[in-house]
Homo-oligomer: A and B are copies of this chain.
Amino acid sequence: MKTRNRRQKTEDRRPRTEDRKADTQDTKPRVRLGLSRVGITNLRTLIQTTWRGHTFRFTPEVEVTIDLTSERKGVHMSRLIEAITQTLEDEAQKPGRSIEEIERRILERLLERHQYRRGDVRMTTDLIVFKRTPVSLKKTMESHRVVVTVTKEGARFTKRLKVTVLGNTVCPHSMLTAKKPHIQRAIGELEVETAYDTYVSLEDMIKCVEKSFSAEVYTLLKTEDEKQVVKNMFENPKFVEDVVRDMLRNAKRTLPKCRIRAKAISQESIHRHDVIAEGTITT
């Protein structure tokens, strides 16, 4: 098997300072059970990507996990770290085009150092998007939480992309009955799962969410912009249920074939609790 051969060679290359015989990780565990995910989490590092001539830098939280057979006591955690650090050193010479490309390289590097059948690399970071305010057209920077995960299962790579975007809901029921709605901040989450090679842009995903709220929100708003945002709100009253359905529909229309999960949480202004809605479709 190709994977095994590749590993074989790497084993030989491993530094002599790590004496195989002494490695507790390679002994048999007392309880013979395989584990699905073993690795490191909450690691913060610095990565850079280059896309259309621009360099982007992120300091994501990273999680790397692999499966473990019932015949091995433990994972060599330092090899997971080395797969990350050496991939990042390569980036200094030849930066990846995207977070998922760097994650794929980490998984490939790791396979040269450690046996596994299924592995995951996940990075969570903030993505800054530049926008113009709706009326005064001033430049504004908007920040969104993104999570990018690449999974290698046997020879197959898949990916999951998730964006968390802020917006709002305007209650259609109180709008209808009293013309006076309650309004509140809402959080939209859109996650897609697809083949590694399918191109899905995080920016497109963010737009799918933004367009599903009663109104888009902005960091900077001059008085005339604020009036427009509030006007949009009153013209688009929506339950969280509507936000989720619109996220699913927007994602279906604009993104390539994938499995889509959408969730919205409304931080109710008339209640202490939150309201949620969730739905999934496969396109």
Q: Which residues of A contact B (CB under 8 A)?
A: 15, 17-18, 22-25, 29-31, 33-46, 57, 59, 63, 65, 68, 73-75, 77-78, 81-82, 85, 88-89, 126, 128, 136, 138-143, 166, 168, 172-174, 176-178, 180-185, 215, 217-224, 226-227, 229-231, 233-234, 239-242, 244-246, 248-249, 265, 267-281
Contacts and interface: CB of A to CB of B under 8 A. Distances in A.
A41 to B, nearest CB: 5
A280 B37 CA distance: 10
Contact of A143 (B44, B75, B88, B276): B44
B128 A45 contact: yes
Q: Summarize A's interface: helix, strand, loop or mixed.
A: mixed
B272 A166 contact: yes
Contact of A265 (B25, B41, B166, B241): B41
A114 to B, nearest CB: 14
B278 A85 contact: no
A18 B227 CA distance: 12
B41 A223 contact: no
Contacts of A59: 59, 126, 128, 143
A276 B37 contact: yes
22 contacts: A17-B224, A18-B223, A24-B173, A33-B245, A33-B248, A37-B278, A38-B240, A38-B241, A46-B128, A46-B141, A68-B277, A74-B239, A75-B241, A142-B272, A168-B269, A178-B230, A181-B230, A182-B229, A183-B183, A217-B269, A218-B270, A219-B272
